[in-house]
Amino acid sequence: MGTNNSRLQGFYQLNPFERLQMVKSFDGLVDEDLKALHGGHGVLTIERADKMIENVVGTYNLPLGIATNFQINGRDYLIPMVVEEPSIVAGASYAARMVRAGGGFEASTSEPLMIGQVQLVHVAAPNSARVDILAHKAEILRLANAQSRSLVTLGGGARDVEVHYFPSSPMGAMMVVHLIVDCRDAMGANAINSMCEAIAPLLEGLTGGKAYLRILSNLSDRRLARARCVVPVSALERDGLSGEEVAEGIMWAYAFAAVDPYRATTHNKGILNGVDPVIVATGNDWRAIEAGAHAYASRSGQYTSLSTWERDEEGNLVGTLEMPMAVGIVGGATKVHPAAQVSLKLLHVKTADELAGICACAGLASNLAAMRALATEGIQQGHMGLHARQIAMAAGAHGPLVDEIARRMVEERNIKPARAEELVAELHP
Ligand code: MEV
């Protein structure tokens, strides 16, 4: 075990190799793990990739960065983030530093309950069918649990049955049976889908109806992750602006997202900027997270912010985030992708709940970073340096000249492909 202090001063100024050594000393990873994080050829071998999806012809790399400064439930974390967009890792780390000044994040979760759905049509007597289904609950659960020994071994399994009825739809009335499944450390999609398929014939028998769809719901509103943070106003002070001025700006930014769906969508995208990269780094399903997040943001009937921000009696800024978080640490890509395995090792997570809480904290941190920037200097200033590096690379710069050309373009306030090409021609030997 290393220093276990995620406040890694000057981390961003090191080169990737030096950063890796620092990550190693934080956590005591072994050299083999570093290779999986460092990337290069062979991390995800073509043979392994070929077993993951169909028609494989190659693999596709993305940058893996480490967000620093995170303290969650009293423990320090280095958070692996896989993402293509500049400023996300820096923003999350910066926000985590501000939150650290207020004692760090608190994370918690609901039980890891997911919902599977079986659609039944042509049910002649829906009230009697409902009573029949509920009377056979034990049998339905037994049949469902016989499908997934592994989930039951983990301490999970099907827990409950609910019946919903839609008297009208474009095709007429339908009954929808919900199977509530405790997924423990699995994301659970495969187990739930197998369970739904297995119980469908029994439900057909009980209702006299016909089963069509048998699939999990991505609105995992019983598998929620929550994060909370307190930011002292003094920690918000920057660039000649008082902490109070910044706090006021952030509160107006939140108020905008709370009332306007056009703004709330972008605000929530800023939250997912923090969540998705951790989901990807750990081999989880980011489309499931995105689908669940936006549906949950609409649960009142109006799409709104997933986070809340308020001031406490001492004037501190207090942020909360609650959102569905269907993640697993066993099975699927989490087990197959070597970098996902090392990401989980780096996080030291022992349960899927813990990972879900970390994802929520990364989301809240990204939200805070975006609102702070938007309410003060604007988002572009921070973006420009990294954006300039991308333009320089696209123009053919490599090695130390990438930073040099980017620096010159930022200084000249002329970050354009044409200028980058001129500088490449001028500076590259
Ligand atoms: C950009 O990726 C994310 C932001 O647009 C989020 C927001 O507006 O809150 C900056």
pLDDT digits (tens, 9 = 90+) for 141-162: 999 999 998 899 999 999 999 9
What's the pLDDT at 198?
Answer: 98
Nearest ligand 1 atom, CA 367:
9
Q: From the CA of 267, how far away is ligand 1's center (Å)?
A: 6
Please give the backbone phi and psi of residue 73, each rounded to the nearest 5 degrees, phi first: 50, 40
- Judge contact between 83 and 192, C-beta under 8 A: no
Q: Which helix (H) or strand (E) holds 121?
A: strand 113-121
Cβ neighbours of residue 155 under 8 Å, at least 6 residues apart? 182, 184
Q: Which residues of 386-408 are buried (b: 16+ CB within 10 A; e: fewer)?
A: bbbbebbbebebeeebbeebbeb
Choose among 141, 139, 120: nearest CA to 130: 120
What is the average pLDDT across 297-301? 98
Is 383 an active-site residue?
yes
pLDDT at 1 over 50: no
Provide the 8-state DSSP code for 238: B
pTM of the entire predicted model: 0.91
Active-site residue, selected from the candidate residues 111, 269, 345, 422: 269
Q: From the CA of 243, how far away is ligand 1's center (Å)?
A: 21
Cα 248 → chain centroid: 28
Measure the CA–CA gap between 105 and 425, rounded to whole angstroms: 48
Domains present along the chain, CATH in parentheses? 11-108+224-377 (3.90.770.10), 113-216 (3.30.70.420), 381-427 (no CATH)
Dmax (CA) for the chain in angstroms is 82
For residue 169, count other CB atoms closer than 10 A to its CB. 10
Q: From the CA of 268, how far away is ligand 1's center (Å)?
A: 8
- Judge contact between 388 and 415, C-beta under 8 A: yes
- Judge contact between 23 and 29, C-beta under 8 A: yes
* Token duo for residue 352: 């899927």
Bridge pairing between strands 224-231 and 210-216: unpaired
**β-pair partners for 175:** 120, 165
Measure the CA–CA gap between 255 and 140, rounded to whole angstroms: 46
Q: Which residues line ligand 1 (CB under 6 A)?
A: 85, 266-267, 269-270, 273, 370, 374, 379
Cα 378 → chain centroid: 24
pLDDT digits (tens, 9 = 90+) for 41-83: 558 999 999 999 999 999 999 999 999 999 999 999 999 999 9
Substitution site in 250, 256, 267 for ligand 1 pocket (most atoms within 8 Å of beta carbon): 267
Substitution site in 252, 268, 269, 309 for ligand 1 pocket (most atoms within 8 Å of beta carbon): 269
pLDDT digits (tens, 9 = 90+) for 199-241: 999 999 999 999 999 999 999 999 999 999 999 999 999 888 9
Provide the 8-state DSSP code for 84: S
Is 51 an active-site residue?
no
Is 350 an active-site residue?
no
Substitution site in 94, 252, 266, 307 for ligand 1 pocket (most atoms within 8 Å of beta carbon): 266
